């Protein structure tokens, strides 16, 4: 009995998570008429690509390229800084618990509503001449991605036994060598897992790109998606179609990196 109950709960939980995705695919492949006039049927009466065709207006490849470039650059910058920051926070002792204070400050920045930091950041970007530039956006995204990467890498680096590093040091490896040949390889699964999540953060970012970019050819995917939900109504077909299209690169990346991701998770949970 308990086994059936267990199965029932498992399948209910699976259905709960899968249903919105099934709904997204189903609506994306319905014809515009069916979306509005038919009932809430999950399976389209007739498969239609009209919603996908509506997306092919020439802008989409540029927007995908912009988003990939910005999210990838923001992730690389974050990982580089966060790796060294997390290592220092784990291995060094700071006076007056400054390390804890720093981590708390980082967490506070992460927890702040983005609009609070958007105004001073806008001012800063304007002064530096980085408004409406991809570099400006990559730097602005650090507000989201850097605190996340520092906190996530912290646990991965903490799990690397100090003895391995000490052995390398006794063999004459200086700090940078130890970081490059000992810490980095051991931390690689964690770095991959962190990179994927940071990439997703950058991929989905909306507010900063809305405020800092004002040239349509530099827009990112989330700005494009917002066009389908307007005061005049919601273009459900196109919205679901762009939902699928914009999820694909992230799904492909996560799928490719899955084994690292799982190893990363298992390391992080130790």
For 115, the enclosing helix (H) or strand (E) is helix 114-128
Count interface residues toward another protein (CB under 8 A).
21
Contact pattern from residue 206 through residue 225 relative to another protein, giving x for each residue in contact according to CB under 8 A and a dash for the rest: ----xx--xxx---------
What is the 8-class DSSP label of residue 180?
I
Does position 240 bind another protein by CB under 8 A?
no
Does position 171 bind another protein by CB under 8 A?
no
Does position 204 bind another protein by CB under 8 A?
no
Q: Looking up tokens 């940071």, which residue turns up? A: 198
Alpha carbons within 13 A on the beta-carbon side of 103: 16
Residues 101 and 246: their CA atoms lie apart, in Å, by 38
Contact pattern from residue 130 through residue 149 relative to another protein, giving x for each residue in contact according to CB under 8 A and a dash for the rest: -xx-----------------
Beta carbons of 208 and 71 less than 8 angstroms apart: no
Does position 232 bind another protein by CB under 8 A?
yes
Which listed residue (22, 49, 105, 119) binds another protein by CB under 8 A?
119
Going by C-alpha positions, the residue among 156, 151, 254, 261 that lies closest to residue 200 is 254
Beta carbons of 74 and 198 less than 8 angstroms apart: yes
CB 211, min distance to another protein, A: 6
Q: Measured in whole angstroms, how far is the alpha carbon of residue 54 from the centre of its chain?
A: 27
Q: Name which of 101 and 229 has its Cβ closer to another protein.
A: 229
Contact pattern from residue 13 through residue 52 relative to another protein, giving x for each residue in contact according to CB under 8 A and a dash for the rest: ----------------------------------------
Which listed residue (230, 255, 269, 270) binds another protein by CB under 8 A?
230
Q: Name which of 207 and 250 has its Cβ closer to another protein.
A: 207
CB 41, min distance to another protein, A: 19
Residues 82 and 203: their CA atoms lie apart, in Å, by 19
Question: What is the rounded radius of gyration, in angstroms, for the C-alpha atoms of the chain?
Answer: 23
Does position 122 bind another protein by CB under 8 A?
yes
CB 104, min distance to another protein, A: 29
> Which two structure tokens, joined as six digits, stand for 61?
């490849």
Q: Name which of 131 and 254 has its Cβ closer to another protein.
A: 131
Phi-psi map region of 237: left, alpha, beta (phi>0 left; psi -120 to 50 alpha): alpha
Q: Name which of 116 and 252 has its Cβ closer to another protein.
A: 116
Does position 57 bind another protein by CB under 8 A?
no
Going by C-alpha positions, the residue among 179, 186, 181 that lies closest to residue 156 is 186
| Residue ranges binding another protein (CB under 8 A) | 115, 118-119, 122-123, 126, 131-132, 210-211, 214-216, 226-227, 229-234
């Amino acid at each position: 009995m308990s086994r059936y109950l267990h199965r029932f709960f498992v399948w209910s939980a699976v259905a709960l998570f899968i249903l919105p995705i099934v709904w997204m695919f189903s609506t994306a492949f319905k014809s515009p008429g069916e979306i509005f006039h038919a009932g809430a049927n999950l399976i389209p009466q007739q498969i239609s690509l009209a919603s996908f065709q509506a997306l092919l207006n020439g802008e989409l490849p540029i927007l995908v390229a912009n988003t990939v470039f910005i999210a990838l650059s923001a992730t690389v910058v974050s990982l580089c800084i966060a790796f060294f920051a997390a290592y220092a926070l784990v291995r060094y002792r700071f006076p007056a618990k400054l390390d804890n204070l720093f981590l708390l400050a980082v967490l506070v920045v992460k927890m702040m509503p983005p609009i609070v930091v958007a105004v001073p950041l806008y001012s800063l970007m304007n002064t530096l001449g980085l408004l409406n530039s991809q570099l400006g956006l990559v730097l602005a995204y650090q507000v989201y991605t850097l605190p996340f990467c520092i906190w996530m890498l912290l646990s991965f680096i903490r799990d690397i036994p100090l003895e391995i590093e000490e052995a390398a040091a006794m063999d004459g490896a200086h700090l940078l060598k130890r970081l490059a040949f000992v810490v980095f390889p051991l931390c690689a699964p964690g770095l991959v897992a962190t990179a994927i999540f940071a990439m997703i953060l950058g991929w989905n970012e909306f507010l900063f790109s809305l405020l800092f970019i004002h040239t349509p050819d530099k827009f990112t995917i989330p700005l494009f998606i917002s066009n389908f939900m307007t005061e005049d109504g919601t273009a459900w077909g196109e919205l679901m179609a762009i939902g699928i299209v914009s999820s694909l690169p992230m799904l492909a990346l996560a799928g490719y990196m899955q084994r690292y991701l799982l190893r990363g998770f298992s390391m992080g949970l130790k």
